Amino acid sequence: MWAHINLRVRIYLILAILVVVTSLGGLILVRYTYQMEDVLSSIIDKDLAAFQSAEDLEHSLVNQKGFVSYYFMDGDPKWLRQLGEFRQIFKQKISEALVHANTPGQKEAAEQINKEYKLYIEGKDRVIAFYTSGKKEVGLKLHEKVRAHYFKILDLCAGYKDFHKKRILQA
């Protein structure tokens, strides 16, 4: 059958097939590009929200630094009220971090931060109790030990934030 078709018609047919195949390939590529953009935007949005949550978590921890020391120096209870406010903010931010955690590793890291924070708060509350009861020397020694927990949590928060930063850069 192919032999009975003249050369001009064969060339036009081959060209038409090439145009159709090329057009189909282009349409498929455009559709694939839009799908990839949607997937990438979704990933980046999730990771960006998790990164922002991790950054807020770190910031809310940093804001707690120094209030007990200020209370030690002048005994003004306003420092403890402000500390309480920032503790509530931290609890809110750790809850947000747990919600934004997408992988078991992220959940584990956020839970580790939460666990260390609870230990830190317990120690800090004991320090405050010592300062309030007038046992400032005992409170001061415990305060130094509790400070180590603070820096450990700060390092965990920084690591958690870096993890999300790397994921965003990879995406």
Phi-psi group of 134: left, alpha or beta (phi > 0 → left; psi -120 to 50 → alpha; rest → beta):
left
Confidence of residue 1 (pLDDT cuts 50, 70, 90): low
Spatial distance between the Cα atoms of 130 and 69, rounded to a whole number of angstroms: 13
User: pLDDT tens for residues 18-41?
Assistant: 999 999 999 999 999 988 888 788
Domain assignment present for 17: no
Residue 84 within any structural domain of the chain: yes
Q: What's the pTM?
A: 0.72
* Any domain includes 36: no
pLDDT 10s digits, 116-165: 999 999 999 998 888 888 888 888 888 888 888 889 999 988 888 888 88
In a domain, 28, yes or no: no
Q: Which of 127, 109, 119 is nearest to 151 (CA)?
A: 119
Domain count, the chain: 1
Render pLDDT for 47-96 as a digit per residue (tens, 0 to 9).
788 888 888 888 888 888 888 888 888 888 888 888 889 999 999 989 88
Q: Which residue range forms the structural domain that includes residue 88?
A: 42-170
Give the separation between CA 36 and CA 55, rounded to whole angstroms: 28
Query: CATH no. for residue 70?
Result: 1.20.120.1730
